[in-house]
């Protein structure tokens, strides 16, 4: 759907429908959150200016369809009064998607909403060569599909083994999804010694071993975020590339995001997705520009 243009200025979040004169109002729900009173306001606006229903998009968006162009301004004013802002459309940074993370999910490794809100404050609606999507997901279960976004942020932990707490039950060998845990044994029956270790390359930094070990022998060593770039679905899907496996500070996340957007602006062609730009110019050059290393 094409963006509405008033004069030369595109109105973000207002999208022309195929029916002449009618538009979709795409609303902003950062991290998929709206308050009950905001939802009530959206319902009233959908009744009054749309056709009495809302559409839920695949990226946690709420859209009011079938708004006549003569009613767009009134609908926007009514939504703004309840703190409901317009979403993004066109070649801009789109609304930031996030799962609930540690707030309500037992697997959540961090406060996903906090990161999404900060990304929104810093980058939402900025211009880019093409649409630019970001998703934050609290753990390796990847409920918000971080690696299908231009930037994906996933909760990550690096486990350490505490030998004195381990009863050698062997369960972690079974439940590690990446089969990255190895048990080695040495000595004879009388002096048998065992040792559990991790293949750090193969480990996907999920928190399964630290959560499920009955003796709490797997503990969190380092904790942070895996940072992905260049994921996209659409006509030519591409899974994101891991730019950095463990980012340990929030500030570094925002710095990497800013540098990734700059790299995209400097190298991307009009309407080219970030991931396709990476394939065209090479990941080494992109790493060099964002991380200062290839």
Q: How far is the CB of 191 from ligand SF4 (least distance, A)?
A: 19
Q: How far is the CB of 173 from ligand SF4 (least distance, A)?
A: 7
Binding site for ligand SF4 (CB under 6 A): 99-101, 105, 107-108, 137-139, 141-143, 159, 166-172, 176-178, 180-181, 196, 198, 203-206, 208-209, 213-215, 217-218
Residue 195, H or E segment? strand 193-198
Strand-pair partners of 225: 155, 247
Nearest CB to ligand SF4, comparing residues 27 and 99: 99
Q: How far is the CB of 195 from ligand SF4 (least distance, A)?
A: 11
Q: How far is the CB of 169 from ligand SF4 (least distance, A)?
A: 4
Nearest CB to ligand SF4, comparing residues 109 and 277: 109
Q: Which is nearest to 167 in space by CA: 219, 220, 221, 216? A: 216
Q: By the 8 A CB rule, do 157 and 109 touch? A: yes
Nearest CB to ligand SF4, comparing residues 216 and 288: 216
Nearest CB to ligand SF4, comparing residues 75 and 136: 136
Q: How far is the CB of 186 from ligand SF4 (least distance, A)?
A: 16
Q: Other C-beta atoms within 10 Å of 158: how many?
A: 17
Nearest residue by C-beta to ligand SF4?
138
CB burial string 117-143: b at 16+ within 10 A, e below: bbbbeebbbeebbbbbbbbbbbbbbbb
What count of Cα atoms within 13 Å lies in the side-chain half-sphere of residue 114? 12
Q: By the 8 A CB rule, do 29 and 62 touch? A: yes
What distance in Å separates the CA atoms of residue 271 and residue 275, rounded to the nearest whole number?
Answer: 12
Nearest CB to ligand SF4, comparing residues 70 and 185: 185
Q: Other C-beta atoms within 10 Å of 150: how many?
A: 28
Q: How far is the CB of 231 from ligand SF4 (least distance, A)?
A: 15
Nearest CB to ligand SF4, comparing residues 125 and 137: 137
């Amino acid at each position: 759907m094409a963006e509405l243009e008033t004069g030369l200025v595109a109105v973000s979040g207002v999208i022309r429908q195929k029916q002449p004169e009618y538009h979709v109002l795409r609303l902003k729900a950062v991290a998929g959150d709206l308050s009950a009173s905001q939802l009530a306001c959206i319902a009233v606006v959908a009744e009054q200016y749309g056709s009495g229903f809302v559409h839920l998009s695949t990226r946690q968006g709420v859209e009011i369809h079938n708004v006549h162009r003569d009613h767009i301004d009134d609908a926007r004013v009514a939504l703004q009064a309840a703190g409901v802002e317009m979403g993004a459309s066109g070649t801009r940074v789109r609304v930031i998607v996030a799962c609930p993370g540690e707030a309500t999910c037992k697997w959540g490794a961090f406060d996903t909403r906090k990161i999404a809100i900060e990304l929104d404050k810093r980058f939402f609606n900025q211009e880019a060569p093409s649409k630019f999507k970001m998703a934050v997901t609290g753990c390796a279960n990847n409920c918000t599909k971080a690696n299908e976004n231009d930037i994906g942020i996933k909760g990550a932990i690096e486990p350490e083994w505490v030998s004195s707490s381990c009863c050698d039950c062997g369960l972690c060998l079974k439940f590690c999804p990446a089969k990255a845990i190895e048990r080695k044994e040495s000595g004879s029956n009388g002096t048998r010694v065992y040792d559990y270790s991790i293949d750090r390359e193969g480990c996907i930094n999920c928190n399964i071993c630290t959560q499920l070990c009955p003796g709490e022998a797997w503990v969190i060593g380092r904790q942070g975020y895996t940072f992905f770039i260049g994921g996209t679905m659409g006509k030519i899907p591409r899974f994101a590339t891991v730019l950095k496996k463990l980012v340990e500070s929030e500030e570094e996340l925002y710095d990497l995001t800013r540098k990734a957007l700059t790299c995209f602006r400097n190298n991307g062609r009009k309407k080219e997705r970030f991931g396709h730009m990476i394939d065209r110019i090479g990941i080494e050059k992109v790493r060099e520009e964002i991380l200062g290393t290839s």
